[in-house]
A and B are shown apart, each in its own frame.
Chain A
Amino acid sequence: MQLKPGLRLFAILLGACLQSPHIAHAEDLVAPDRIGRIDAPKSFSFRVLTVHSNNNAQPKFAAEMAALYEKYAHLHPDWQVSIQLMSLQIPQEHARLLEQARSGTAPDCSALDSFEVPLFIRAGVLKPIDQYFSREEIDDLFPFIRPIISDAAGHIYAWWWTTDLRLLYRNTALVPDPPRTWQETKQAALAARRAADSDLEGLLFNGGRNETTTVDFLPQFWAQGGKLVDENGAAVFGQEPNRTYLLNAIAFYRDLIVSGASPARVASISNYDDLTAATIAGSAAMMVNGDWAMSQMQAAMKPEDFAKWAVSMLPGPTAEQRSTSSGGWTFVSFSKDPEKVKACMDLVREVYMGPATEVLRRLPTRQSEFDSPLYRSNFYLQIKQYLKLGQARPGLPIYTEISNRLQIAISEALSGTRTPEAAVDEAVDQVAKAAARYQ
């Protein structure tokens, strides 16, 4: 029987439509918005940072993440994971997540910035996930992690799978020895500027209005013994001696700018990419940046230029008083369906608990993961030591308010809008007013 051309076209299209699901799952277990077979009987939604997924902008990382997802899909043929990408607008993303969790529309499985976890625990939108992890695995976590992801009874609500660390990066051709104190750092930056051309910037760090500024700044405060909150969770950073410690740390930053060791523009820098860009361009002698910057620099610099760069612990008021800050990302489940919670935790365990940290060159959160060959290089051995001195931001909801107010205070003091004393007092006052909201 001969079909008319129109009917023939219709038959071809119909056949293609009917066959397409089989073609898709046969050839493509992983897509930008999906893990698993397209016709899998069960599904759950998964929100993840773009850089932590198969949508990573670097093709190498994207391909390796896709391979990990594919392995998961083979092991769990009944599940289809619907990928939702999370942007780097962290406050906005987390405010939206909180609202969605309250109304029951949050994704079943989601990434959560580690410092936001206490806020979600307190809001009552998370359930304990202890049963999905062994006691050994939980005990293997670095000491600063447990308090953030646990409640008072010790139950964990999130799995913190990767951490990071702030480091002092230096061009060893300009700054041969790692500065240990604030004074040494200023002198090293000024010496580097004198030795190089006038456009060279001595030390760069975040000083604008963003969480990055607080994360870079807090080690200077912690190194002196400063505390943001007391044992009861009340904000005490405005009380003595903490207030003095804060002012000392701001004075260090201010002195860097006034002396010319750092450019005034640090008051407007609020993301690490600006710092990395300046380093790659060869216009900075030192910078405060996260451990991840090393792989970015390696990818973008000529090998002979990259070889000049080294990292060290952040400086402190004295060589003995040192600290650094750790952040990182967790996964949580907002689902009320135990089957979906388990599927989410399987994904976390099989993809992110180890394999993804290596693939993405991120720092693991468990000491045993450092036994992997990747982490045996000098860089990672150094970092493993520094992690022991690492501090996480307080695991309390009030922290986000303290951080916002400190960002404004630091930025105002650095730009000269206010005296450091007035800026800190304003921050203390505003946090005190806001404290009622967090009770």
Chain B
Amino acid sequence: MTSVRVIGPEDDPPDGMRRARRRGRDDHPFWWLLPVALLLAIFYLYPVLEVVRISFTDATLLNSTYAYTLDSYRSVLADSALPRIWMATVIFVAGSVIGQTALGLLIALTLQAGFRRRLPGVRTVQVIVLATWIIPGVASAITWQLLLSEASYGFFNAMLRQVSLSPVAWLSDSRLAIWSATLANIWRGTALSMILLYAGLQTISPTLYEAAAVDGATAFQAFRYITLPRLGPALLVNIVIVSIFSLNTFELVMPLTGGGPGRSTEVLALAAYNAVFHDFNLAQGSVLAVLMLLINLGLTIVYWLASRGLR
């Protein structure tokens, strides 16, 4: 029989006390989180706070001195170009969300059906779709430049000519250019939506579909009354993530259109870049970055709430 000796405080050796204290530290999550928290503070929080600070100045790259002022906010908010920038951003983000979600869902459903029926080539399709997500934004932009080019070597217009249709001014028509940029972004981001929604589809119990089949439900009815309601939280998370990604997209639009013609494709992220690197205006670039940060924070709160719903 094993005897247990209870150790009292009076005979607790100093080593034991240290061990106990260390155990206390080990049990507390604070110490484990501290290195990560420090890294986040240095590499994420500090730059964000610095951007917010600069937004309340008149700093430029041209002068080393600056003063604290609200003029940069006034100037950006009163800028006659801002409504056009908002409009381009809204079209780009909303179009990307709708397009990526619809296509992502379609591909996820197709893949699920393919896997269920053990069709050959389903895995290959999945890899091909994922490849578009792996390609860097700049490379995607160059690819789409070639596809949308209005020169004789432009792919889409060459296809249109083949079927005796007139070529389209994909990038030089100011009303169409933003939709062309959105199309390129949808192509690039659909894989992400596919992954998120495919994961959501896996959480739906197959017994529900079996029961629906026994009741004589059609495929559309099963989709309408089982898939969509059960996929709700995953759809919401997808919408929020795609919105954040699209809002921050700059590396695709910049090489594709440069914000033109005029300012028709100058989305918020590109406007911030132009303010800093073309106009050397650090403060106004920071104001635009703060606006993006606020929108992203709002979307993150929605994402957080949706994630809780998923759990």
Contact = CB atoms under 8 A, between A and B. Distances in A.
Interface stretch (B56-64, B126-134, B228-236): B56-64
A250 to B, nearest CB: 13
B278 A99 contact: no
A401 interface: yes
Contacts of B75: 433
Given A404-B278, A438-B62, A268 B151 contact: no
Which DSSP category, helix, strand, loop or mixed, fits chain B's interface? loop
B209 interface: no
A281 interface: yes
Contacts of B262: 408, 411-412, 415, 417-418, 423
A409 to B, nearest CB: 8
B260 A411 contact: yes
Interface in A100-152: 102, 119, 122-123
Contacts of B63: 437
Contacts of A401: 279
A283 interface: yes
Contact of B174 (A98, A122, A281, A417): A417
A437 B151 contact: no
A363 to B, nearest CB: 27
Interface of B: 60-64, 75, 80, 150-153, 169, 171-174, 177, 257-264, 274, 276-281
Interface in A365-410: 397, 400-401, 404, 407-408
Contacts of B278: 91, 400, 404
A102 B64 contact: yes
Interface stretch (A13-21, A186-194, A259-267, A353-361): A259-267
A397 B150 CA distance: 35
A73 to B, nearest CB: 35
A263 B150 CA distance: 9
Interface in A61-102: 91-92, 95, 98-99, 102
A267 B260 contact: yes
Of B63, B80, B278, which is in contact with the most chain A CB atoms at under 10 Å from its CB?
B278
A39 B82 CA distance: 55
A211 B255 CA distance: 14
A265 to B, nearest CB: 4
B174 A416 contact: yes
Contacts of A438: 62
B223 to A, nearest CB: 41
Given A199-B152, A277-B151, A404-B278, A268 B260 contact: yes
A344 B252 CA distance: 37
Contacts of B173: 264, 415
B61 A95 contact: yes
The interface centre, meaning the residue of B151, B262, B281 with most chain A CB atoms within 10 A of its CB, is B262
A278 B61 contact: no
A66 to B, nearest CB: 29
Nearest to B161: A199
A226 interface: no
A408 B62 contact: no
Contacts, number: 106
A411 B258 CA distance: 11
Given A278-B151, A283-B152, A437-B281, A123 B62 contact: yes
A399 to B, nearest CB: 12
A417 B153 contact: no
A281 B259 contact: no
A274 interface: yes
Contacts of A119: 62
Interface in A174-222: 199, 201, 208-210
A277 B154 CA distance: 12
Contact of B172 (A266, A277, A404, A412): A266
A277 B153 CA distance: 10
Contact of A265 (B64, B172, B280): B172
A350 interface: no
Nearest to B256: A268
A416 B264 CA distance: 11
11 contacts: A119-B62, A199-B152, A209-B259, A264-B150, A267-B172, A278-B151, A404-B274, A407-B260, A408-B262, A412-B174, A434-B279
Interface centre among B172, B260, B274, B277 (most CB of A within 10 A): B260
A110 B251 CA distance: 26
A415 B153 CA distance: 21
Contacts of A274: 151
A408 B174 CA distance: 12
Contacts of A346: none
Interface in A417-439: 417-418, 423, 426, 433-434, 437-438
Interface centre among B60, B150, B153, B280 (most CB of A within 10 A): B280
A270 interface: yes
A187 B276 CA distance: 42
Nearest to A102: B64
A433 B75 CA distance: 9
Nearest to B64: A102
Residue with the greatest number of chain B CB neighbours at <10 A, chosen from A208, A423, A438: A208
Nearest to A266: B172
A397 B281 CA distance: 13
A281 B258 contact: no
Given A95-B277, A98-B61, A265-B151, A208 B169 contact: no
Nearest to A410: B262
B279 A414 contact: no
B242 to A, nearest CB: 27
Interface string A273-288: 0100110010100000
A414 B264 CA distance: 13
A283 B151 contact: yes
9 residue pairs, one from A and one from B, having the closest CB atoms: A412-B262, A415-B261, A265-B150, A209-B260, A268-B172, A268-B171, A417-B262, A209-B258, A415-B174
Nearest to A99: B61
Nearest to A271: B258
A268 B264 contact: no
